[in-house]
Structure formats: structure tokens, C-alpha cells
Chains A and B, each alone.
Chain A
Amino acid sequence: MQPKPKFKFTPSSLLLLVMFVILAALMLFPLYALFMASLKPATELFRYGLNVRVDFDMMSLNNYKSIFSGEGAAGNYFGWYKNSLVISALFTLLSLLFSSMVGYGLGMYRFKGRNLIFTLVLVVMMIPVEIILLPLYKLMISLKLINTIWGVILPFIVAPLPIFFFRQFALGLPRDFMDAGRMDGCSEYGIFFKIMVPLMAPAFGAITILQAMNSWNNFLWPLIVLRTTEQFTLPIGLASFVSPLGNNYEALIAGAVLAILPILLVFLFFQRYFMEGLTVGGVKG
């Protein structure tokens, strides 16, 4: 990344600034509206729809209380939260490990079959996984993984996009370090874990955000695999509040607000690496 030259203050810079302030406001507005709605009684939502009127008499933390009280439909909320945290953490860690290994292997070594394997990675990347939803579901049944955490994460921990990304990154790693490591008696795996993994830190940062986001927000596959309410993840649990049998907007809106927090924290924490990682990994052909 090149350092940005110091900007000169001009009318056009002011115009740009105004434009982006408006744009950012528009983009953040739905989240603000959601937050406002979480402070109002659901009857208000039914009567007037989603709006952003500030009315202090009406606003309260009752919706949040209904979640924390753990009664009724919202009783499982923190169980779902825990499931989502466990699944996301496990999924992100394992997928970082495996996809960095595969990407590194493809980027650093010249070996027979390398191009074929890389082509397969690209093929998996370009084919929507939804195509194999039904046979994958049948497979999960025969592996007895239905309604389990492993059923949710196992089919997708070796994901093509992170592999692609790590491979691009590995192409730019210094090969002399590899030879130096070998001279010092490091095994091939020692070189990877001790020397190369630290060098790939920006890629790890970027992929952590991507994979944490994907698993935290994943909907369709967990919806298929997880069968009992206790096993649900947050998105499915929240979606179950909206049902043909009636909507539980109190728990839904407050629960939706709380559901954004962990992933927002991950983003703010890894943000620094995110751009850097994308820049190195995403561009080269």
C-alpha cells in the first residue's frame, strides 16, 4: 500500500465529503432504525410500521428485558447465542488452519497435480453450494451428523475462497526463508508454522473477518441441519420468531440488535489487517 499524499483542501474535497456523509448516513440508517425500534413496544411497530420518531415516553428497555428474563419464546435466546459463538469460533479457527495450509501448499511448492488441484479450487469457488444441498443433507444423515455442530461446520471448513486468498498471498512470500529454515534443520511443517504463518498475518486477519462473518450469519445450511430449538444458531432462532403462527417482534428486534455486537467487535479488532490482507491477496491475478 502506498502512503496517501497529504490532501489539499479544495471545493471538490468539500463536495466529496458532503456526498460521503450523506451516503454513510443512508447506509447506517437502517441499523439506527432497528435500534430505535428495539426501544419501542411492538404494538407501536404494528400500528405505525418502522419509523424513527423519538418519543421518550414510549421508549424503554422492556424488549431487552423480555430476552434476558428467559421466558416464553425468547427463552432459548442465549442458548442460540452460545451455539453461534461456539460454531463460529470453531469454524473460523479450523478453516484458517486448513485453508492456510492448502493455500500455502499450492502457492509455495511446485509439485505434480498442483495446477489440477488449483483448478478444482476454482471450480468449487464458482459453483453455488446450494446445488448439492439435498445430497449433502442425505450425507449428513448417513454420517449421523444431523442436528450437531459438526454437521453445520464440517462440509465447509475447507473453503475455496480462503484457499484462493492464501495461495495468492503465499505467492508473494520470500522463498529464501524456506531454504534458510531447511538449513537450520526445520521440518517443512516447522517452516510453515514458525516462519510463514507469522508472515501471513494480514491474510489471517482478513480471512478471520470473512469466515467469522460467514459463519455467524450463515442461515440456509444450519436451517437444514439443525432440527431442535435448543440446537439452533442465532439467525435461525431469530428467524423462528417470524413465523406463520405469529410474530414475536419484541424479542426479534432486541435480539437482532444484540446479534450484531460480536461480529462488529471482531471487525473493529481485525480491521487493521483487513485492508492490508485484501490488498495483497485479492488483486494479483
Chain B
Amino acid sequence: MQIERELRHNAKRGYRLGNSQKIAPYVFVLPFLLSFAVFFAYPLVNAGVMSFQEVLPGEVSFVGLDHYRGLWNEDFGAALYNSSRYTLLTLFLLIPVPMVLAVFLNAKTMMFSNFFRSALFIPALTSVVVAGVVFRLIFGELDGALMNTILHLFGIPSQRWLYSSSLGMFALLVLAGWRWIGINILYFLSALQSIPRELYEAAEMDGAGTMRRFMRITVPLLKPITIYVVTITIYGGYAMFTESYMLWAGKPSPQNIGLTIVGYIYQQGFQYFNLGFGSAIGITLLGITLLVSVLQLTLSGMFKRED
């Protein structure tokens, strides 16, 4: 009887347009398809085309590989170096540190772990603009600025933080750590909570020490989330712009020590209106991120078939 009712039902529904189980999923994914086509695929193709063109108001001419040849210059070199260095260093900062902190927060012996979880996350809520303003002042060159006051405690003279490549990078890293450690802790913590505690208890029974348990159980079981966090860190590293824009107050940084690839796109595209050249930088950035992502996923064994 139930089958009969279902059959009748299905027949009736067949006439209701768009509501069949065959059509419904396409309706559900339609927003993505539209948005992908209009706001991603089309602009991406357009960027590819524009990178071979000189785009001036009212006239567009084909210039071949000129823009790509033009990338061989000091500014782009600086941008590429800064972005890559920043990405690499954030990987060292934003993966192991939050992982270990998350393990601590997840420990049996940890008190108030919910409170600390929230406290460490709060910096992530502040906009980069606000964070940039604060850190610009913290890394100020005056004797009374916070970082310099701290240096004085150790008998080190004041530094002009935002005028040297390494010190400027240091400021960017402190800012990145401040804003991202709390978020990454949450990712690792969420994964840690799905590891059964019995595993640790069994390992403890077998005489495995804390370090051994961490290396043999925690790290391997955190692999999926680690791959994810590494991916978004690489993405965030190469896409970084606002941090350096705010630290150097929207002005070009001295000797381009704060220039990033996206900063270079912004400068060429929106300040000098070199749309073609800006697009060529964009396409180059696309190549770099794809290369790095594929490299990372290959190294972490993502492409291996798991049966």
C-alpha cells in the first residue's frame, strides 16, 4: 500500500515543474553556476586576454608578450620576493604554533579552555585596517613606541622598524600571527576533538610518552585539517595586501620593502591604470599559486588514491 501511495505521489509530482528529484539538485546548485560563470570564469578569461593587450580608454591594441616581458623589473622582483618570503614564514608561524596550542587547549589538565579559545580568537575579529593602525603605532620609530620601549628594557637602542626589509617583515609577521593564530587554533581544535581519547589511553598503556603520542597519533590524525590550513595559509600569504597597505599608511614603502604582488596589481591597475600590465601580474600570480598548491598537495599525498 505504501508503495502504491508513493507511486501515485511520484506521478503527481512529475507534473509539477522543477520539483522532481532530477531537477531539484540543479536548481540548488544554480546560484553557484551563475556566479561562477559571470564573476569568475568570464573575468578570468578576460584577464588572460587583457594581459596581451594595451588597454586604453576607447582603444585596445594587441601587444603580445610585452607585458610579461615587462615583469622582468625590480618592482615585480621585490613584490615576488616579499610575497614569497611572507608566505613561507607564515607557514612556519601559523601551522606548528596553533597546532601545539590547540593540543594544550584540548588537554585533560587544561582549565578554562573555552575562555582561552575565545580570548585568542578575538584578534581575528578586528579588521586588518584597525589592526594595521595599531601595529603601525606599536612599531613606530619614536622612543616611546611600544616595541622600542621593550627593546630599551634589554638595552637595545630604538629601531626604525618600518624602514628595513627584515624588521618590516617582522612587523608583518607579528601582525599575521596576532590575527591568525586564534583562527587556526580553532581549526586544529575542531579536528582534535574528533580523535578518540581511547587511542591515547591505549598508547599510554603501551608506555608511549607524551612526545611520542603527539608525533605518532596527533600529527598523523591531524593531517586532513593540516592540509586545509596549509592551503589557506598559502592562499592568504600570496594574496596579502591590506596588512602592508595599512602598515605603510597607503604610501609606497621605502625601497618597496612592503610591496606585495597584489599591492603591485593595485598600484599598476588602479593607480597607474595599466589594466593590461596589471592583468599580466594577475595571471602570473595565478600561475604561482597553482604551482605552489599542486606542489603542496603532491607533497602531502593528496593525489594518491586512497582505497
Contact = CB atoms under 8 A, between A and B. Distances in A.
Task: Determine the interface band of chain B, counting residues with CB < 8 A from chain A.
Answer: 35 or more
A51 B149 contact: yes
Interface residues of A, number: 102
Contacts, number: 305
B127 A28 contact: no
B171 interface: no
A10 B239 contact: no
Contact of B33 (A117, A139, A239): A117
A139 to B, nearest CB: 6
B224 A49 contact: no
B123 to A, nearest CB: 6
Contact of A183 (B9, B47, B134, B262): B9
A105 B25 CA distance: 5
Given A216-B127, A260-B126, A50 B137 contact: yes
Contact of A48 (B32, B111, B144, B186): B144
A154 interface: yes
B104 interface: yes
Given A135-B50, A275-B190, A7 B130 contact: no
Given A16-B110, A114-B25, A133-B265, A48 B285 contact: no
Nearest to A15: B109
Interface string B177-215: 010011000110111011011000000000000000000
Interface in A41-82: 45, 47-52
A278 B190 contact: yes
B286 A135 contact: no
Contact of A182 (B9, B251, B286): B9
A198 interface: no
A188 B19 contact: yes
A131 B36 contact: no
A51 B269 contact: no
A267 interface: yes
A219 B6 CA distance: 53
Interface in A105-139: 105-106, 108-109, 111, 114, 117, 120-121, 124, 126-139
Contact of B131 (A10, A30, A274): A30
Interface string B142-162: 111110110000000000000
A109 B28 contact: yes
A219 B281 CA distance: 20
A136 to B, nearest CB: 5
Nearest to A284: B224
Contacts of A189: 19, 24, 27
Interface string A68-103: 000000000000000000000000000000100110
B173 interface: no
A49 to B, nearest CB: 3
Given A111-B25, A260-B130, A130 B125 contact: no
A2 B199 CA distance: 14
Interface string A160-171: 000100000000
A49 B140 contact: yes
A246 to B, nearest CB: 11
B7 to A, nearest CB: 12
Contacts of B35: 98, 155, 157-158
Contact of A188 (B24, B130, B224): B24
B138 interface: yes
B142 A102 contact: no
Given A27-B123, A30-B135, A239-B129, 14 more contacts: A47-B142, A98-B35, A109-B21, A128-B235, A130-B241, A133-B282, A134-B282, A183-B5, A219-B128, A235-B130, A242-B250, A259-B127, A283-B190, A283-B225
Interface of A: 1-2, 4-5, 7-8, 10, 12-13, 16-17, 19-20, 23-24, 27-28, 30-31, 33-34, 37, 45, 47-52, 98, 101-102, 104-106, 108-109, 111, 114, 117, 120-121, 124, 126-139, 154-158, 163, 182-183, 185, 187-189, 192, 213, 216-217, 219-220, 224, 234-236, 238-239, 242-244, 247, 252-253, 256, 259-260, 263-264, 267, 271, 274-275, 278-279, 282-285
Interface of B: 5-6, 9, 13, 16, 19-22, 24-29, 31-36, 38-40, 42-44, 46-47, 50, 101, 104-105, 107-113, 116-131, 133-135, 137-138, 140, 142-146, 148-149, 178, 181-182, 186-187, 189-191, 193-194, 196-197, 224-225, 228, 231, 235, 238-239, 241-242, 245-246, 249-251, 262, 265-266, 269-270, 275, 278-279, 282-283, 285-286, 289-290, 293
8 contacts: A51-B146, A121-B32, A132-B40, A135-B43, A182-B9, A235-B128, A260-B126, A283-B194
